[in-house]
Amino acid sequence: MAPARRAGDGSMPGAEALSSDMTRDPVGWDVDSPIQAEVFVVWLDGDQILLTGPDGPHAWYLQLGPTEHPVEVVDRIVRDVVGPPLLVHSTSWRRDRDAVVLSFLVVVDRALMAGQPSVAVGREDLARSSARAAPTAIATSQVLEHALRHLAWLAEDDDVVRHELSGEWRAALAGYVPEPFRSLG
């Protein structure tokens, strides 16, 4: 994973203090619901996709109540804490953290991230499953890779997503080709 940095420059003072483990829970937050949202907040700095969040560049975990709509919860909380998202999309789910974890990719405008700790998103191999079983281990970096590949596909295939994402976003996503085609070159 790339080093942490602040929006608009190539470095961030105190970056070594940020954990490179994207899965840590924010201090003081107790997320133990049987249904959770895992939120990846990303933004574009030039042609580089960056990961950020309200407590640093990590996956952000939210409890979901039994009657709450997950997309509405993620949209509302991101809007309240970070600012209005450009796009909120659920990309996958898995059993983890003693819960069903619904993964969300949230795209926000660069202007909201001024001064926020962020890390450049690197590329990862996807977690692989068998024909009838989930992968035995899934890293959050693999979940983020899957989410960006999914977003790249939607940017080409879905009119709403294509409309919401700028040409710069679509160019940054061009290398995220959904499997199996990426391996074919």
Does CATH number 2.60.40 belong to domain 4-184?
Answer: no
Give the per-residue pLDDT at 46: 93
Tokens of residue 127, six digits: 């977690």
Give the per-residue pLDDT at 131: 81
Tens place of pLDDT per residue across the chain (185 aa): 344 444 444 433 333 333 344 444 555 556 667 899 999 999 999 999 999 988 889 999 999 998 999 999 999 999 999 999 999 999 999 888 888 999 999 999 999 987 889 999 999 888 888 888 888 888 889 999 999 999 999 999 999 999 999 999 999 999 997 665 555 55
- Tokens 């929006």, residue located: 7
Give the per-residue pLDDT at 12: 35
- Which residues, in sequence order, are bridge partners of residue 44? 49
Give the per-residue pLDDT at 104: 97
Do 118 and 41 touch, CB atoms closer than 8 A? no
Tokens of residue 82, six digits: 């970070």
Give the per-residue pLDDT at 154: 93
Give the per-residue pLDDT at 133: 83
Query: pTM, whole model, 2 decimals?
Result: 0.79
Give the per-residue pLDDT at 96: 87
Give the per-residue pLDDT at 21: 42
Give the per-residue pLDDT at 114: 74
Residue ranges per domain, the chain?
Answer: 4-184
Reported as half-sphere exposure (CB side, CA atoms, 13 A), residue 100 has a value of 8
Give the span between the Cα atoms of 77 and 137, in whole angstroms. 29
Angle, vertex CA 64, rays to CA 99 and CA 173, nearest 5: 85
Give the per-residue pLDDT at 30: 62
Neighbours of 1 (CB within 10 A): 14
Give the span between the Cα atoms of 180 and 92, in whole angstroms. 17
Reported as half-sphere exposure (CB side, CA atoms, 13 A), residue 124 has a value of 20
Give the per-residue pLDDT at 127: 84
Query: b/e per residue, 63-94, with b = 16+ CB within 10 A?
Result: bbeeebebeebbbebbeeebeebbbbbbbbeb
